[in-house]
Amino acid sequence: MRMLRCIGLFTLLAFLAGCAATGPKMSEVKSTIPALSQDQGRIYFYRTRSIFGAAITADLRVNGDVVGRSTRGSFFFVDRPAGNYEVASSTETEKKATFALSGRETKYVRTYVGMGILVGRIIPELVNADEAEKEMADLAYVESAKK
């Protein structure tokens, strides 16, 4: 019985580890990230390595366009003209975050899995730069979806 429990736990851990994104860390890609032009802002998206709801992923949309996916342990960014934006994710229900983006401004959107009725929900929230940069340091960079 004990052996079975060990195998079960090992399988679960391996499954959860397998859900985390892989890719270069922020420190490895930082120097390659282009500077923003006067009229463009940047939106970073990230999700920490929390194992709660690790297997749940969802597309992330900016004003209706899919820009990437919320995946455990990953981050990416998109550049957009200054303006008003709505970030949305859909699982069993749609959750949104709205904000304004100025030229040369950077906004940070953290996604996390919240409790749902049948499955977890991917919830986007705006985060301060200091907190976001600390949390993203250890995450894997993934490419955003091409427009």
Partner 1 sequence: MKQLWLSVVMVLLASCAAEIPRQPTTFIPSSEGEGHSRVIQVDEDADVRLPSGYSRSIRAGSIWKQSGTVEARAVYKAAKEVFTIEGTHVHEAYLLLDGNTLVGFFLPGESAVSWLKQKVTLKFH
Q: How far is the CB of 39 from partner 1 (least distance, A)?
A: 16
With CB under 8 A as the contact rule, which of the stretches 6-14, 25-33, 52-60, 119-127 interacts with partner 1? 119-127
Main-chain phi, psi angles of 63, to 5 degrees: 45, 40
For partner 1, the binding residues in 97-116 under the rule CB under 8 A are 97-100, 107-108, 114-116
Q: How far is the CB of 23 from partner 1 (least distance, A)?
A: 26
Name the token pair of 5. Answer: 């429990």
- Per CB under 8 A, residues contacting partner 1 are 84-86, 93, 95-100, 107-108, 114-117, 121, 123-128
